[in-house]
Every structure is written in C-alpha cells, then in structure tokens.
Amino acid sequence: MSGWGDSDEEVVSEFKNVEIEPEQEPTTADLSLIKKCLRNKLVESKNNVEIIRKNPNSPLYSAKTFEELKLPEELLKGLYEMGFQKPSKIQETVLPLLMANPPQNLVAQSQSGTGKTAAFLLASLKRVRVELNFPQVLILSPTLELAIQIADVAKKMAKYTKITFRHVIKGEARPPPNITEHVIIGTPGKMSDWVFRFRNIFDIKNINVFVLDEADVMIDTQGLGQQSIKIQKELKSNCQMMLFSATYDKQVMNFAETIIPDPLILQLKREEESLENIDQYYVICQNETDKYTALANIFGSISVGQTFIFCHTKRSANFLKEKLERDGHAVGLITGDLTVEQRTEVLKRFKDGDERVLISTNLMARGIDVEQVTVVINYDLPINMATKDIDYETYLHRIGRTGRFGKSGLAINLVDGNRTMEMVKKLEEHFGRKIKLLDATNVDEIEKLETN
C-alpha cells in the first residue's frame, strides 16, 4: 500500500497480498472503564428499566422525586447542590427498593452516565448511623481512579451530614490501629490486604452495605473477582449487597450469582444505534489529494463541532493526523498501539474540546459516546475482511457515534472509484436510507449542511 489514506479500492485489491496490521480490540471491560472515566454528568435516557427478576415479597414502585424517598434533609441539600433535580430512570426504580426494609440485594446493569453511582451512594449513605464510629459501608471499585471518583461524589453528597470516609487504595499508608470512618471506599486488592492482614483495624461483621461497582471490569482483571468474593464471604448474612455492571453477559451473571445472594435483577436497556437522526452524504474523490481537499473544505466552511474521522489502517490514520496538524488542526489519534489509559486520556482531551478532531481505526467504532460529536467522516469506508465488501455493521457503529441522545448528526463518506460507489449504493439498499451526493468543491453547498 502506498502513501497515506489508501483508497478502499486499493485496499480491497491488495487484501490478498498485504497483511493489514492487527489491532487489539478493546474488551468490554476496557470500554466500560473508558466510558466511566469520561462520563461526568447524567445522560438523558428514554430507555426503560427491565425487571428481570424480583423478590415476590418486595413491593415494586418508583419515585419520581427525591422527596418521595424520605431522604434526610442533609442528604437532599447536598444532592440539590450537586445539580440533581429528579431521579434518573434507574434511580427512580432502584432507590425505593434499596431503601426499603428489610434490605434488598441488587444486581443492576446500566451503562455509564445513567446515575447508578448516585443510586448506590444514596442508598448506602441513608443507612449510616453517624453516632456509631466504625465502618458500616464498604464500596469496591476496580481501579484507584474510579475509587477516588466515587469517594469525591460521596463526599459532595454527604457535605451537610456528619458521615466520614476513608480511601483504601494503593499509595495509602499503613492503616491506623482503629478505623472510625463510616464509609470505606477502595480497590479489591488493597481492601483484601487490610481486611485479612490487619484484622483488628475494624470489624467487617459491622458492615451493613457492600457495593461492587463496575463488576464487568472486576472479573476481566486478573485476581479482582476472587479478591471480591473472598471479602464478601467475611460479611454477615444480612448485609445488603449491590452489584453494578455496564455489561450483562453470562460471565457477569455467573459472577453476580456467586457473590450476591437472592438479588433483584434490573437492566436498563441501552439506546439502540439508529440512522434516523443522521443525514448521510458521499463525496466523489478522484484521488488522495481530492480526499484531503474535501476534508479541508468541510472544516473551512462550516462549524462542524467535534468530528470523528475513521480510517482503514493505522498507517493511514497516522499520516492523516500528521497532515492535519501541519495545516493547523488540533487532532487526536487512537489506534491499537495505545493502552487503555492512553486512549482514555486522548478521549478526555477530545471530549473537553482541546482537540476538535479525533482520528481512529475501527477501534473506536463501537460503544464510545461523546455527546459533542456532530460529524463522522469515513475517510475510508469500512471493509469486511471475509467478504472483501462493505461492512454494514461497522458502518452503522461508526456513524452511530453521532446523532446520539436524540440529537441530529452528519455522516460524510469520501469515495473514490467504481468499487466504492457500488458500496454506497449497497449501503442505501441495506439500510433503506438515502445517501446524498455532496460537492465538496462548492462552498455554498457545504454551508447548507449547517441548516439541514
């Protein structure tokens, strides 16, 4: 393959002779971790909470306001100061159950941003008796960063109460002889160390609420699942237990049923990716120069907001990044060469607007939602390696990065040659939606995209 941004026609014709550099697909745990780190506010979701299993002896009702939950005034004050106005979908279903007596165990699946952290924190904090100076709530999270994030939210929520908190994470000094804080939040490894090496620092039988957050990440990370199970076995039988996960597969459910006795099981159905809110266009390009000129014209003519650009190979993505940066664009790049932490950092800069453009291979085609994305550009159409033809599923996931949360989106496909034009027509037939021709040399026509 020659140059940067090899055309789809060239790529297809050379598949038999050239080995495309392999990329490590992100695991479900990777995606959960990245999304958790990126999310800093609730996502407005119209999706329903599905009750998969419930306790027949437990009343099932919802709370449309936080006042209905009969929360202490001090907690309500902290909650409203944080900007919460009403319960999210999962909160209005889960909180009445978690706060009822006798305490109900819970396994809940919900993607990041739906309010599950606030749900389990509110339920946990309400059960704390501040006059008792020993740990009553134990919360486990798979990473140091997420444990700190949970603790920060909890402290803000409990700002007007007398509830106290302690981190149990890597870097913390040797524990004190006697832990008096009400809530301890940490990682399974460090918590296991403190519980089993320093047995006299607190009585784990006094724990009334046990929370496992991001369980899918726990079981995908060496040792964390077993450490969590070991801690859970030390708890008293009537301790309230909650497990939250962003994914909901057989492995997660097997783990959940091992660690959480007789739980209520809830699932917040994920928003399906759809083309309904996305206007699709294609631009005919004779060569690579035309492709780049089309990009430059689009960026120079309209305010496109945050933009995802998808390339077929790492090499194409790297070369395109270098060329855009030489022309003064702030550009991020994600390929399989980056660690999860590095990908998260790139996505954070993109989400914060430090970089207006994010270039990636198919690595970021699925699961990562950045609300500010208004445009997706397929610099290369996605190819199914088995059929050597258009990859319909990847196309849907790629352009599904825009038009999220009910907003309008724009997808632009750069095509060259008869082969890729055939693919555009197949996409129209497959999805039943028109892909309109865009003349990227006509500034007036490009500017109309902003008003469509």
Each residue's pLDDT tens digit, 232-264: 999 999 999 999 887 777 888 888 888 899 888
Most confident of 1-15, 117-131, 361-375, 384-398: 117-131
pLDDT value at residue 25 = 55
What average pLDDT does range 423-436 have in this prediction?
Answer: 93
Percent of the chain beyond pLDDT 70?
Answer: 79
Q: How far apart are CA 41 and CA 88, in angstroms?
A: 11
**8 Å CB contact between 211 and 245:** no
Q: How far is CA 12 from CA 16, 219, 362, in A?
A: 8, 39, 16
Q: How far is CA 238 from CA 52, 59, 101, 206, 260, in A?
A: 23, 19, 11, 11, 11
What average pLDDT does range 389-405 have in this prediction?
Answer: 82
Band the pLDDT of 62: cuts 50, 70, 90: low
pLDDT value at residue 364 = 65
Each residue's pLDDT tens digit, 75-88: 999 999 988 888 87
What average pLDDT does range 349-370 have in this prediction?
Answer: 77
The conformation of residue 189, written as its DSSP 8-state character, comes to H
Q: How far apart are CA 71 and CA 127, in angstroms?
A: 10
pLDDT value at residue 29 = 54
* Token pair listed for 6: 């090899």
Range with lowest mean pLDDT among 26-35, 112-121, 202-211: 26-35
Look at the pTM and tell me if it is higher than 0.75: no
Band the pLDDT of 444: cuts 50, 70, 90: confident
Each residue's pLDDT tens digit, 87-146: 877 788 888 888 888 888 998 887 655 678 888 999 999 999 999 999 999 999 988 878
Q: How far apart are CA 376 and CA 307, in angstroms?
A: 6
Q: If residue 280 lies in a helix (H) or strand (E), which one and from where to where?
A: strand 278-284
Q: If residue 50 lies in a helix (H) or strand (E), which one and from where to where?
A: strand 49-53
Band the pLDDT of 164: cuts 50, 70, 90: very high
Domains of the chain as residue ranges with CATH: 8-23+272-450 (3.40.50.300), 47-268 (3.40.50.300)
Percent of the chain beyond pLDDT 90?
Answer: 31
pLDDT value at residue 414 = 94
Q: How far is CA 387 from CA 16, 104, 362, 364, 407, in A?
A: 12, 50, 17, 22, 33
What average pLDDT does range 292-318 have in this prediction?
Answer: 84
pLDDT value at residue 269 = 59
Q: How far apart are CA 208 and CA 127, in angstroms?
A: 8
Residues 6+ apart with CB under 8 A from 259: 212, 228, 229, 232, 241, 243
pLDDT value at residue 22 = 46
Which has more pLDDT, 155 or 218? 155
Band the pLDDT of 314: cuts 50, 70, 90: confident
Q: If residue 325 lies in a helix (H) or strand (E), which one and from where to where?
A: helix 314-326
Most confident of 170-179, 226-235, 417-426: 226-235
337 CB burial (10 A radius; 0-12, 13-18, 19+): middle
pLDDT at 372 over 90: no
Q: How far apart are CA 373 and CA 371, in angstroms?
A: 6
